[in-house]
Amino acid sequence: MVVYLLFKIDSPTSYCTAEMTFLGTLLGPGTTLAILVGAFVSWLLLQKRPPNMPPGPRLSLPVFGYVPFLGHYPWISLAKMTEKYGNIMTMRLGTLGFNYGTKLSVVLNDYDSIKAALNDQADEFESRGPDPITEFISTGKDGKIHGIMNMEGEKFYAQHDFIVRTLRDLGVNGARVDELILDEFEQLYDALVQHGKSGQHAMMPFYDIKQATMNILGMILFGKRYDYEEKTLQSWPVFVRFVMSILIGSKLRQISAVPGWVVGKLHGLSKVRTVLEESLESHIKTYRKEDLRNFLDVYIRVQKEKMDTEALLAMADKEDLFSCLNGMFTAGPEATAIILWYSIFYHLKFRERQKQLQDELFRVVGNRKRITYADKESLPYMSSTMYEVVRMCGETPLGQSRENPKAAKLLGYTIPARTQIIPNFWAVHYSAEYFPDPFTFKPERFLTDNGKSYALPPQYIHWSIGLGRRSCPGVELAQQMIWVLMANLFHRFEFSVPDGEVLPGIHEYSALLVAHRPKPFKVLIKPRLN
């Protein structure tokens, strides 16, 4: 009955009324009244705010906090509120803004405050705080939290550095990973030509693109790729999105936890764990220290040699390994595919930009079918295009929330211990002060030296990568994948809008998830080169 009410009732008013009716039936009027009075007193106490905190709205509803007043796109509402409260504001929200209960939160709406907290004072604001989504993904078979998403302290830094170092050793930024990306692009090319019938059939290529990003990362992490018709690897991110949509769905249903038996069942659905177990066993049998093929081989070397103390701290056992790989494989392909999907979307919304990009690609590369990462410096408009897509898309507009384990000072304000810190990256990237005419897709804003090179202003932040010590350790791989795939997509294909298809607005998103994308639309894809 309780579960039915949680899922069936969407509005805060009907939700609370249903709960009170149910409690009254179950407990009797006297007990119910006492509980409600106690809850009201607790709510009144929560309205008190510690001294010297940033300004902000004091209104906070029981259970919901300020969330109902932020609308469907909280990051836009929060940015508008700076006119009244300034760039740093205090309010009560749930963890991630959407869970049961209210939590004292500080929202950062400009680059200076975000940089101060996440970069300059990273040691004071390093904690991720409670997060049911990442805790679920990071929990091993031993019931403990593993992996960098929820780790803190010395082990977090060891794992972060281990991932960065390992990816570089495996060829990130170099020809080895370039070749892997380009080989996969040829498979993607064939799939898009087949599914789109050479431009004659309207299609939504997002899932083909995501399959390519999953295959690339799968090869780097555990040496596996799958055919575009096979769904083995697709199932895990789809399943994770299902969990996310329950926890932080677009209607902001207030669910703070999933029962333990449900979590157990959901873990049993994870095919990626099975893939990792089988891959590790196979790699142990075929391991050769002089030929490190992927992330698994590096882990095996660490366990066999036991000489690198920092690496042993980072990867103490296979639960650490699997949680790290799970985290990277869950977040990486989805975020990368979303950015590539947005690149197609913006070049359909701003048609003249597609021609400008393709003119540069053809002028520099000609009929050569493969564009490599080594071509990047010769293609400044292409690079500026990638950064402009990332600026506008806002895949993770509120980044990843942080907490301060101890009381701290931030730009003159006192921040009590365990306050939720929310960076509003959207407010930075859509600030006319930092990026003039921010709602227009303008890759040339990053060009310098009469278009011969490009440069990013200090206020530029990659949404899903973040800032400071908790930034994504896979940033270099992500940028290489995005750049190479985007350049080759626009060099080899012409994208157009089918007759009768209406593109969504620039800020019309699919159901709110941790990373969102445009509402669904179809596209015609026509090969450009013979």
> Is the pLDDT reported for residue 114 higher than 90?
yes
pLDDT grade for 181, boundaries at 50, 70 and 90: very high
| Confidence at residue 524, expressed as pLDDT on a 0 to 100 scale | 95
**HEC secondary structure over 33-101:** HHHHHHHHHHHHHHCCCCCCCCCCCCCCECCCECHHHCCCCHHHHHHHCHHHHCCEEEEEECHHHCCCC
Q: 511 vs 249, 419, 474, CA distance in Å?
A: 7, 28, 26
The Cα 92–Cα 140 span in angstroms is 32
Q: Concatenated DSSP letters for 403-458? A: E-SS-EEETTEEE-TT-EEEE-HHHHHT-TTTSSSTTS--GGGGEETTTTEE---T
Q: Per-residue pLDDT tens for 85-97?
A: 999 999 998 544 4
The Cα 419–Cα 406 span in angstroms is 9
β-strands 524-527, 453-454 pairing: unpaired
pLDDT grade for 148, boundaries at 50, 70 and 90: confident
Please, which residues have CB within 8 angstroms of residue 414's CB and are 6 or more apart in sequence?
A: 50, 51, 52, 53, 407, 408
Please state the rounded mean pLDDT for residues 398-420.
Answer: 93
- Of 220 and 37, the one with more pLDDT: 220
| Confidence at residue 449, expressed as pLDDT on a 0 to 100 scale | 92
What domains lie within the chain, and their CATH numbers? 1-46 (no CATH), 137-527 (1.10.630.10)
Please state the rounded mean pLDDT for residues 400-416.
Answer: 94
> Is the pLDDT reported for residue 200 higher than 60?
yes
Specify the pTM.
0.85
Please state the rounded mean pLDDT for residues 491-501.
Answer: 95
| Confidence at residue 471, expressed as pLDDT on a 0 to 100 scale | 84
Please state the rounded mean pLDDT for residues 28-42.
Answer: 63
User: Does 324 belong to an annotated binding site?
Assistant: no
| Confidence at residue 316, expressed as pLDDT on a 0 to 100 scale | 87
Q: Per-residue pLDDT tens for 281-293?
A: 999 999 999 999 9
DSSP label of 119: I
Of the listed ranges 71-75, 88-92, 245-249, 474-478, the one predicted with least confidence:
245-249
The Cα 32–Cα 27 span in angstroms is 6
> Is the pLDDT reported for residue 451 higher than 70?
yes
> Is the pLDDT reported for residue 520 higher than 60?
yes
- Of 67 and 423, the one with more pLDDT: 423
pLDDT grade for 395, boundaries at 50, 70 and 90: confident
pLDDT grade for 250, boundaries at 50, 70 and 90: very low
> Is the pLDDT reported for residue 205 higher than 70?
yes
Q: Per-residue pLDDT tens for 359-391?
A: 999 999 999 889 999 999 999 999 999 999 999
| Confidence at residue 198, expressed as pLDDT on a 0 to 100 scale | 67
| Confidence at residue 452, expressed as pLDDT on a 0 to 100 scale | 92
| Confidence at residue 144, expressed as pLDDT on a 0 to 100 scale | 82
β-strands 103-108, 420-423 pairing: parallel
Contacts 24+ apart (CB under 8 A), 145-151: 145/323, 146/319, 146/320, 146/322, 146/323, 146/324, 147/320, 147/323, 147/324, 147/326, 147/327, 148/324, 148/327, 148/473, 149/323, 149/327
Q: Taking each helix axis from N to C terminus, what angle separates 271-286 and 206-222, rounded to the nearest 10 degrees?
A: 40
| Confidence at residue 40, expressed as pLDDT on a 0 to 100 scale | 61
> Is the pLDDT reported for residue 268 higher than 90?
no
> Is the pLDDT reported for residue 463 higher than 80?
no
> Is the pLDDT reported for residue 253 higher than 50?
no
> Is the pLDDT reported for residue 195 higher than 90?
no
| Confidence at residue 234, expressed as pLDDT on a 0 to 100 scale | 54
Mean pLDDT of the chain: 82
β-strands 420-423, 402-403 pairing: antiparallel
- The top-scoring range by mean pLDDT among 55-64, 78-87, 252-261, 305-314 is 78-87
